[in-house]
A = this chain, B = another copy of it.
Amino acid sequence: MGLCPAQLISRYMALIVQKFGGTSVGDAERIGAVADHVARTREAGNEVVVVVSAMGKFTDGLIRLADEVSPTRPPRELDMLLTAGERISMALVSMALGARGVEAASFTGSQAGIITNTDHTRAKILAMHPDRIREALDAGFVPVVAGFQGVSTEKDITTLGRGGSDVTAVALAAALHADVCEIYTDVTGVFSADPRVVSRARRLAKVSFDEMMEIAATGGRVLMLRSVEFARRHGVPLHVRSSFTWEPGTWIVEEDPTMEEAVVSAITDDKSEAKVTVGGVPDRPGIAAKLFRRLADRGVNVDMIVQNTGANGLTDISFTVAKTDLVAASETCNIVKDEIGAAEVTTDDNIGRVSIVGAGMKSSPGVTALMFETLYENGINIEMISTSSIRISCVLRADKVGDAVRALHTAFGLDADEF
Protein backbone atom coordinates (compact mmCIF):
# COMPACT_ATOMS: atom_id res chain seq x y z
CA MET A 1 0.00 0.00 0.00
CA GLY A 2 1.76 3.11 -1.25
CA LEU A 3 -0.54 5.66 0.29
CA CYS A 4 -1.59 6.01 3.89
CA PRO A 5 -5.29 5.11 4.07
CA ALA A 6 -6.03 8.57 5.47
CA GLN A 7 -4.78 10.06 2.20
CA LEU A 8 -6.78 7.60 0.16
CA ILE A 9 -9.96 8.34 2.05
CA SER A 10 -9.69 12.07 1.63
CA ARG A 11 -9.63 11.63 -2.16
CA TYR A 12 -12.87 9.80 -2.91
CA MET A 13 -16.13 8.79 -1.32
CA ALA A 14 -15.28 6.10 1.18
CA LEU A 15 -17.35 3.54 3.04
CA ILE A 16 -16.45 3.93 6.70
CA VAL A 17 -17.56 1.69 9.56
CA GLN A 18 -17.54 3.67 12.82
CA LYS A 19 -17.75 1.70 16.05
CA PHE A 20 -18.58 3.50 19.30
CA GLY A 21 -17.92 1.84 22.64
CA GLY A 22 -19.93 2.03 25.86
CA THR A 23 -18.38 5.24 27.20
CA SER A 24 -18.86 6.92 23.79
CA VAL A 25 -22.64 6.44 24.05
CA GLY A 26 -22.82 6.71 27.85
CA ASP A 27 -25.59 9.33 28.04
CA ALA A 28 -27.83 11.48 25.88
CA GLU A 29 -25.19 14.19 25.55
CA ARG A 30 -22.47 11.76 24.41
CA ILE A 31 -24.95 10.18 21.97
CA GLY A 32 -25.55 13.65 20.56
CA ALA A 33 -21.78 14.13 20.10
CA VAL A 34 -21.55 10.78 18.29
CA ALA A 35 -24.42 11.79 15.99
CA ASP A 36 -22.70 15.11 15.25
CA HIS A 37 -19.54 13.27 14.28
CA VAL A 38 -21.35 10.76 12.06
CA ALA A 39 -23.22 13.62 10.41
CA ARG A 40 -19.91 15.41 9.71
CA THR A 41 -18.43 12.23 8.24
CA ARG A 42 -21.43 11.99 5.92
CA GLU A 43 -21.22 15.65 4.96
CA ALA A 44 -17.64 15.02 3.86
CA GLY A 45 -19.13 12.71 1.24
CA ASN A 46 -18.66 9.31 2.85
CA GLU A 47 -21.00 6.40 3.39
CA VAL A 48 -21.12 5.47 7.07
CA VAL A 49 -22.14 2.32 8.92
CA VAL A 50 -22.33 2.81 12.70
CA VAL A 51 -21.79 -0.02 15.19
CA VAL A 52 -22.61 0.62 18.86
CA SER A 53 -22.04 -1.04 22.19
CA ALA A 54 -24.45 -0.84 25.12
CA MET A 55 -24.49 2.41 27.09
CA GLY A 56 -21.78 2.66 29.75
CA LYS A 57 -22.56 0.52 32.77
CA PHE A 58 -25.96 -0.63 31.51
CA THR A 59 -24.85 -4.21 30.93
CA ASP A 60 -23.43 -4.46 34.45
CA GLY A 61 -26.85 -3.54 35.82
CA LEU A 62 -28.49 -6.30 33.77
CA ILE A 63 -25.99 -8.86 35.03
CA ARG A 64 -26.75 -7.83 38.61
CA LEU A 65 -30.47 -8.37 37.93
CA ALA A 66 -29.71 -11.78 36.43
CA ASP A 67 -27.74 -12.76 39.52
CA GLU A 68 -30.69 -11.71 41.68
CA VAL A 69 -33.14 -14.02 39.91
CA SER A 70 -30.88 -16.99 39.14
CA PRO A 71 -27.67 -18.41 40.55
CA THR A 72 -26.68 -20.00 37.24
CA ARG A 73 -26.89 -17.37 34.48
CA PRO A 74 -28.29 -19.75 31.83
CA PRO A 75 -26.33 -18.75 28.70
CA ARG A 76 -29.17 -18.56 26.16
CA GLU A 77 -31.20 -16.31 28.43
CA LEU A 78 -28.17 -14.26 29.45
CA ASP A 79 -27.61 -13.50 25.77
CA MET A 80 -31.24 -12.52 25.32
CA LEU A 81 -30.94 -10.25 28.35
CA LEU A 82 -27.65 -8.57 27.47
CA THR A 83 -28.58 -7.81 23.86
CA ALA A 84 -31.17 -5.38 25.21
CA GLY A 85 -28.29 -2.99 25.86
CA GLU A 86 -27.26 -2.42 22.24
CA ARG A 87 -30.89 -2.30 21.21
CA ILE A 88 -31.32 0.77 23.38
CA SER A 89 -28.14 2.56 22.31
CA MET A 90 -28.62 1.87 18.59
CA ALA A 91 -32.20 3.17 18.63
CA LEU A 92 -31.09 6.30 20.49
CA VAL A 93 -28.17 6.93 18.11
CA SER A 94 -30.52 6.50 15.13
CA MET A 95 -32.96 8.97 16.67
CA ALA A 96 -30.16 11.45 17.36
CA LEU A 97 -29.05 11.17 13.71
CA GLY A 98 -32.61 11.72 12.57
CA ALA A 99 -32.78 14.85 14.71
CA ARG A 100 -29.75 16.13 12.74
CA GLY A 101 -31.41 15.51 9.40
CA VAL A 102 -29.45 12.29 8.74
CA GLU A 103 -31.71 9.40 7.78
CA ALA A 104 -30.73 6.45 9.93
CA ALA A 105 -32.13 3.00 10.68
CA SER A 106 -31.06 0.62 13.41
CA PHE A 107 -30.48 -3.10 12.87
CA THR A 108 -30.03 -5.91 15.36
CA GLY A 109 -27.22 -8.39 14.82
CA SER A 110 -29.78 -10.75 13.37
CA GLN A 111 -31.17 -8.14 10.99
CA ALA A 112 -27.61 -7.25 9.96
CA GLY A 113 -27.08 -10.87 8.94
CA ILE A 114 -24.47 -11.78 11.52
CA ILE A 115 -24.75 -15.58 11.69
CA THR A 116 -22.94 -17.32 14.55
CA ASN A 117 -22.48 -20.77 15.98
CA THR A 118 -24.60 -21.76 18.99
CA ASP A 119 -21.93 -21.13 21.60
CA HIS A 120 -23.91 -18.72 23.77
CA THR A 121 -22.10 -15.83 25.53
CA ARG A 122 -19.01 -16.29 23.31
CA ALA A 123 -20.34 -17.15 19.88
CA LYS A 124 -18.13 -17.17 16.82
CA ILE A 125 -19.22 -15.61 13.55
CA LEU A 126 -19.85 -18.25 10.87
CA ALA A 127 -21.17 -16.06 8.08
CA MET A 128 -22.06 -12.49 7.23
CA HIS A 129 -25.13 -11.65 5.12
CA PRO A 130 -25.40 -7.88 5.47
CA ASP A 131 -27.94 -7.51 2.64
CA ARG A 132 -30.18 -5.18 4.61
CA ILE A 133 -27.20 -2.99 5.56
CA ARG A 134 -26.18 -2.72 1.90
CA GLU A 135 -29.75 -1.87 0.93
CA ALA A 136 -29.98 0.78 3.62
CA LEU A 137 -26.73 2.34 2.41
CA ASP A 138 -27.94 2.31 -1.18
CA ALA A 139 -31.14 4.03 -0.06
CA GLY A 140 -29.06 6.80 1.50
CA PHE A 141 -29.50 5.71 5.12
CA VAL A 142 -26.91 5.42 7.84
CA PRO A 143 -27.35 1.89 9.20
CA VAL A 144 -26.79 1.72 12.95
CA VAL A 145 -25.94 -1.84 13.91
CA ALA A 146 -25.97 -3.50 17.33
CA GLY A 147 -22.47 -4.60 18.25
CA PHE A 148 -21.69 -7.75 20.24
CA GLN A 149 -24.65 -9.79 18.98
CA GLY A 150 -25.71 -12.20 16.27
CA VAL A 151 -28.21 -14.94 15.55
CA SER A 152 -27.22 -18.58 15.73
CA THR A 153 -27.80 -21.30 13.19
CA GLU A 154 -30.60 -22.39 15.56
CA LYS A 155 -32.15 -18.90 15.22
CA ASP A 156 -31.36 -18.02 18.83
CA ILE A 157 -29.87 -14.67 19.87
CA THR A 158 -26.16 -14.95 20.67
CA THR A 159 -23.47 -12.63 21.96
CA LEU A 160 -19.89 -12.58 20.75
CA GLY A 161 -18.13 -12.37 24.11
CA ARG A 162 -15.51 -9.86 25.25
CA GLY A 163 -14.56 -7.30 22.62
CA GLY A 164 -17.54 -8.51 20.61
CA SER A 165 -18.60 -5.08 19.40
CA ASP A 166 -15.19 -4.55 17.80
CA VAL A 167 -15.57 -7.93 16.10
CA THR A 168 -18.99 -6.88 14.77
CA ALA A 169 -17.50 -3.70 13.35
CA VAL A 170 -14.55 -5.45 11.72
CA ALA A 171 -16.72 -8.26 10.33
CA LEU A 172 -19.16 -5.75 8.82
CA ALA A 173 -16.29 -3.71 7.38
CA ALA A 174 -14.90 -6.88 5.81
CA ALA A 175 -18.23 -8.06 4.41
CA LEU A 176 -19.08 -4.62 3.02
CA HIS A 177 -15.53 -4.07 1.69
CA ALA A 178 -15.30 -0.88 3.73
CA ASP A 179 -12.30 1.38 3.28
CA VAL A 180 -11.66 1.60 7.00
CA CYS A 181 -13.09 0.48 10.31
CA GLU A 182 -12.83 3.26 12.89
CA ILE A 183 -12.86 2.11 16.51
CA TYR A 184 -13.87 5.01 18.79
CA THR A 185 -13.00 4.58 22.42
CA ASP A 186 -12.01 6.57 25.50
CA VAL A 187 -8.29 6.74 24.64
CA THR A 188 -6.73 8.57 21.71
CA GLY A 189 -5.05 5.54 20.13
CA VAL A 190 -2.44 2.86 20.65
CA PHE A 191 0.53 4.02 22.73
CA SER A 192 4.18 3.06 22.85
CA ALA A 193 3.48 1.93 26.43
CA ASP A 194 0.67 2.23 28.95
CA PRO A 195 0.58 6.00 29.69
CA ARG A 196 -0.35 5.25 33.28
CA VAL A 197 3.00 3.46 33.61
CA VAL A 198 5.19 5.54 31.32
CA SER A 199 4.44 9.25 31.43
CA ARG A 200 6.48 9.84 28.25
CA ALA A 201 4.59 7.21 26.25
CA ARG A 202 3.50 8.51 22.86
CA ARG A 203 0.69 7.71 20.53
CA LEU A 204 1.70 5.58 17.57
CA ALA A 205 0.51 7.01 14.26
CA LYS A 206 0.66 3.63 12.57
CA VAL A 207 1.32 0.01 13.52
CA SER A 208 1.16 -3.14 11.42
CA PHE A 209 -1.40 -5.87 12.02
CA ASP A 210 1.37 -8.18 13.21
CA GLU A 211 2.61 -5.66 15.74
CA MET A 212 -0.92 -4.88 16.92
CA MET A 213 -1.61 -8.58 17.42
CA GLU A 214 1.47 -8.89 19.60
CA ILE A 215 0.56 -5.70 21.47
CA ALA A 216 -3.01 -6.96 22.05
CA ALA A 217 -1.76 -10.39 23.11
CA THR A 218 0.76 -9.05 25.60
CA GLY A 219 -1.20 -6.43 27.49
CA GLY A 220 -2.33 -3.63 25.16
CA ARG A 221 -5.82 -2.88 26.38
CA VAL A 222 -7.21 -0.90 23.46
CA LEU A 223 -8.12 -3.72 21.09
CA MET A 224 -8.76 -7.40 21.69
CA LEU A 225 -6.54 -9.84 19.81
CA ARG A 226 -9.61 -11.37 18.19
CA SER A 227 -10.73 -8.28 16.30
CA VAL A 228 -7.18 -7.51 15.14
CA GLU A 229 -6.85 -11.07 13.81
CA PHE A 230 -10.15 -10.73 12.01
CA ALA A 231 -9.11 -7.40 10.49
CA ARG A 232 -5.77 -8.77 9.35
CA ARG A 233 -7.31 -11.86 7.80
CA HIS A 234 -9.72 -9.71 5.79
CA GLY A 235 -7.36 -6.81 5.15
CA VAL A 236 -9.57 -4.24 6.91
CA PRO A 237 -7.58 -1.14 7.91
CA LEU A 238 -8.38 -0.16 11.49
CA HIS A 239 -8.23 3.32 12.91
CA VAL A 240 -8.38 3.51 16.71
CA ARG A 241 -9.33 6.97 17.95
CA SER A 242 -11.04 8.89 20.70
CA SER A 243 -14.71 9.87 20.79
CA PHE A 244 -13.81 12.57 23.31
CA THR A 245 -11.23 14.49 21.25
CA TRP A 246 -12.16 13.20 17.75
CA GLU A 247 -8.50 13.73 16.73
CA PRO A 248 -6.80 11.18 14.44
CA GLY A 249 -5.54 8.19 16.39
CA THR A 250 -3.60 5.08 15.44
CA TRP A 251 -3.88 3.34 12.07
CA ILE A 252 -3.48 -0.42 12.06
CA VAL A 253 -2.68 -1.53 8.54
CA GLU A 254 -0.83 -4.07 6.41
CA GLU A 255 2.91 -3.83 6.83
CA ASP A 256 4.26 -1.44 4.27
CA PRO A 257 7.45 -2.83 2.68
CA THR A 258 8.43 0.54 1.25
CA MET A 259 8.72 2.22 4.60
CA GLU A 260 11.40 2.10 7.22
CA GLU A 261 10.17 0.10 10.16
CA ALA A 262 10.60 1.05 13.77
CA VAL A 263 12.77 -1.56 15.44
CA VAL A 264 10.58 -1.49 18.53
CA SER A 265 7.13 0.10 18.42
CA ALA A 266 5.77 -0.54 21.86
CA ILE A 267 6.50 -1.86 25.31
CA THR A 268 3.57 -3.72 26.84
CA ASP A 269 2.93 -5.08 30.29
CA ASP A 270 0.49 -7.53 31.77
CA LYS A 271 -0.08 -8.49 35.39
CA SER A 272 -3.18 -10.58 34.79
CA GLU A 273 -1.38 -13.92 34.63
CA ALA A 274 0.06 -16.39 37.11
CA LYS A 275 2.75 -19.01 36.71
CA VAL A 276 2.47 -22.75 37.29
CA THR A 277 5.55 -24.93 37.48
CA VAL A 278 5.45 -28.70 37.25
CA GLY A 279 8.85 -29.70 38.61
CA GLY A 280 10.99 -32.85 38.47
CA VAL A 281 9.34 -34.37 35.44
CA PRO A 282 11.13 -37.28 33.71
CA ASP A 283 12.38 -36.04 30.32
CA ARG A 284 10.37 -38.47 28.19
CA PRO A 285 8.41 -37.91 24.97
CA GLY A 286 4.69 -37.34 25.44
CA ILE A 287 4.81 -35.86 28.91
CA ALA A 288 4.10 -32.30 27.78
CA ALA A 289 1.44 -33.51 25.37
CA LYS A 290 -0.40 -35.32 28.17
CA LEU A 291 -0.19 -32.33 30.53
CA PHE A 292 -1.42 -29.71 28.07
CA ARG A 293 -4.16 -31.95 26.65
CA ARG A 294 -5.61 -32.30 30.15
CA LEU A 295 -5.39 -28.55 30.70
CA ALA A 296 -7.13 -27.94 27.38
CA ASP A 297 -9.86 -30.44 28.30
CA ARG A 298 -10.40 -28.50 31.51
CA GLY A 299 -10.79 -25.31 29.45
CA VAL A 300 -7.60 -23.69 30.73
CA ASN A 301 -5.99 -21.31 28.22
CA VAL A 302 -2.22 -21.56 28.51
CA ASP A 303 -0.14 -18.59 27.37
CA MET A 304 3.67 -18.79 27.72
CA ILE A 305 5.34 -22.19 28.08
CA VAL A 306 8.96 -22.73 29.04
CA GLN A 307 10.69 -26.04 29.51
CA ASN A 308 14.24 -26.54 30.73
CA THR A 309 15.98 -29.85 30.97
CA GLY A 310 18.56 -30.26 33.69
CA ALA A 311 21.60 -32.55 33.75
CA ASN A 312 19.82 -35.14 35.87
CA GLY A 313 17.36 -36.13 33.14
CA LEU A 314 14.57 -34.30 34.95
CA THR A 315 12.82 -31.29 33.51
CA ASP A 316 10.74 -28.37 34.84
CA ILE A 317 7.76 -27.24 32.81
CA SER A 318 6.54 -23.73 33.59
CA PHE A 319 3.60 -22.00 31.98
CA THR A 320 1.43 -18.95 32.52
CA VAL A 321 -2.35 -18.78 32.68
CA ALA A 322 -4.87 -16.06 33.45
CA LYS A 323 -5.15 -15.64 37.22
CA THR A 324 -8.82 -16.57 36.91
CA ASP A 325 -7.74 -19.98 35.57
CA LEU A 326 -5.10 -20.59 38.22
CA VAL A 327 -7.19 -22.81 40.50
CA ALA A 328 -8.33 -25.01 37.62
CA ALA A 329 -4.76 -25.22 36.26
CA SER A 330 -3.31 -26.12 39.64
CA GLU A 331 -5.95 -28.78 40.29
CA THR A 332 -5.43 -30.30 36.87
CA CYS A 333 -1.64 -30.43 37.31
CA ASN A 334 -1.96 -32.08 40.71
CA ILE A 335 -4.24 -34.72 39.20
CA VAL A 336 -1.84 -35.38 36.31
CA LYS A 337 1.27 -35.21 38.53
CA ASP A 338 1.42 -38.89 39.41
CA GLU A 339 0.58 -40.06 35.88
CA ILE A 340 3.54 -38.18 34.47
CA GLY A 341 5.81 -38.88 37.45
CA ALA A 342 6.35 -35.24 38.37
CA ALA A 343 7.85 -34.34 41.74
CA GLU A 344 5.84 -31.21 42.55
CA VAL A 345 3.45 -28.52 41.36
CA THR A 346 4.02 -24.93 42.46
CA THR A 347 2.10 -21.79 41.61
CA ASP A 348 3.04 -18.13 41.71
CA ASP A 349 0.51 -15.35 41.17
CA ASN A 350 2.91 -12.56 41.92
CA ILE A 351 4.44 -12.29 38.45
CA GLY A 352 4.22 -9.77 35.63
CA ARG A 353 5.18 -9.83 32.01
CA VAL A 354 6.94 -7.16 30.01
CA SER A 355 7.16 -7.38 26.22
CA ILE A 356 8.79 -5.40 23.47
CA VAL A 357 7.05 -5.45 20.11
CA GLY A 358 8.33 -4.26 16.76
CA ALA A 359 8.08 -5.32 13.13
CA GLY A 360 11.63 -4.13 12.53
CA MET A 361 13.00 -6.44 15.21
CA LYS A 362 13.37 -9.40 12.88
CA SER A 363 15.94 -7.57 10.76
CA SER A 364 17.74 -5.86 13.65
CA PRO A 365 20.27 -7.91 15.56
CA GLY A 366 20.98 -6.81 19.10
CA VAL A 367 17.42 -6.13 20.21
CA THR A 368 17.36 -9.11 22.53
CA ALA A 369 20.70 -8.20 23.99
CA LEU A 370 19.64 -4.59 24.63
CA MET A 371 16.47 -5.77 26.37
CA PHE A 372 18.30 -8.13 28.69
CA GLU A 373 21.07 -5.62 29.39
CA THR A 374 18.56 -2.92 30.25
CA LEU A 375 16.75 -5.18 32.71
CA TYR A 376 20.06 -6.32 34.23
CA GLU A 377 21.27 -2.72 34.66
CA ASN A 378 18.08 -1.93 36.51
CA GLY A 379 18.51 -4.87 38.86
CA ILE A 380 15.53 -6.78 37.44
CA ASN A 381 15.68 -10.57 37.35
CA ILE A 382 14.20 -12.46 34.37
CA GLU A 383 12.24 -15.60 35.30
CA MET A 384 10.89 -16.76 31.94
CA ILE A 385 11.55 -15.71 28.36
CA SER A 386 9.46 -16.26 25.26
CA THR A 387 9.92 -14.80 21.80
CA SER A 388 8.26 -14.48 18.42
CA SER A 389 9.79 -12.95 15.32
CA ILE A 390 8.54 -9.50 16.30
CA ARG A 391 8.21 -9.77 20.10
CA ILE A 392 10.26 -10.66 23.17
CA SER A 393 8.47 -11.25 26.49
CA CYS A 394 10.04 -11.62 29.91
CA VAL A 395 8.33 -12.72 33.09
CA LEU A 396 9.45 -10.73 36.15
CA ARG A 397 8.36 -10.17 39.72
CA ALA A 398 5.12 -8.19 39.56
CA ASP A 399 6.54 -5.25 41.54
CA LYS A 400 9.33 -4.76 38.97
CA VAL A 401 7.04 -4.38 35.97
CA GLY A 402 6.67 -0.58 36.10
CA ASP A 403 10.44 -0.02 36.38
CA ALA A 404 11.07 -2.47 33.55
CA VAL A 405 8.61 -0.82 31.18
CA ARG A 406 9.98 2.66 31.85
CA ALA A 407 13.60 1.55 31.44
CA LEU A 408 12.90 -0.29 28.18
CA HIS A 409 10.82 2.60 26.84
CA THR A 410 13.84 4.87 27.29
CA ALA A 411 16.39 2.32 26.11
CA PHE A 412 14.59 1.72 22.82
CA GLY A 413 14.25 5.45 22.15
CA LEU A 414 10.47 5.62 22.50
CA ASP A 415 10.22 8.48 24.99
CA ALA A 416 8.31 11.46 23.68
CA ASP A 417 10.25 14.71 23.48
CA GLU A 418 7.94 16.54 25.81
CA PHE A 419 5.51 15.42 28.43
Contacts and interface: CB of A to CB of B under 8 A. Distances in A.
Nearest to A105: B76
B106 A80 contact: yes
Contact of A96 (B69, B95, B132): B69
Contacts of A80: 87, 90-91, 94, 106, 108
A242 to B, nearest CB: 21
Contacts of A157: 108
A98 B70 contact: yes
Contact of A72 (B76, B99, B108): B99
A48 interface: no
Highest count of chain B CB atoms <10 Å: which of A65, A70, A85: A70
B155 A111 contact: yes
A57 to B, nearest CB: 15
Given A62-B88, A84-B87, A69 B28 contact: yes
A353 B394 CA distance: 83
A229 to B, nearest CB: 30
Interface in A72-105: 72-74, 76-78, 80-81, 83-85, 87-88, 90-96, 98-99, 104-105
Contacts of A302: none
A354 interface: no
Given A28-B68, A68-B28, A98 B74 contact: yes
A77 B98 contact: yes
A28 B84 contact: no
A417 B32 CA distance: 60
Contacts of A108: 80, 157
Interface in A1-46: 28, 31-32, 35
Interface-centre pick from A73, A80, A155, A157 (highest chain B CB count, 10 A)? A80
A99 B71 contact: yes
A66 interface: yes
A337 B12 CA distance: 59
A74 B87 contact: no
Interface string A342-361: 00000000000000000000
B71 A94 contact: no
Nearest to A155: B111
A406 B105 CA distance: 52
A60 B84 CA distance: 16
Contacts of A95: 66, 69-70, 72-74, 77-78, 81
A65 B54 CA distance: 14
A98 B72 contact: yes
A96 B81 CA distance: 13
A106 to B, nearest CB: 5
A182 B8 CA distance: 62
Contacts of A90: 80
Contacts of A106: 76-77, 80
Given A83-B87, A87-B83, A94 B68 contact: no
A91 B78 contact: yes
Given A68-B28, A105-B76, A91 B98 contact: no
A111 B152 CA distance: 12
B77 A91 contact: yes
Given A69-B93, A72-B98, 4 more contacts: A62-B88, A81-B95, A84-B87, A84-B91
In the complex, the 10 A-B pairs of residues with the closest C-beta atoms, listed nearest first: A81-B91, A28-B68, A70-B95, A80-B91, A69-B96, A84-B84, A70-B99, A84-B87, A77-B94, A77-B91
17 contacts: A28-B65, A35-B69, A65-B88, A69-B93, A72-B95, A74-B94, A76-B105, A77-B94, A77-B95, A77-B105, A77-B106, A78-B95, A80-B90, A80-B106, A81-B87, A81-B95, A84-B87
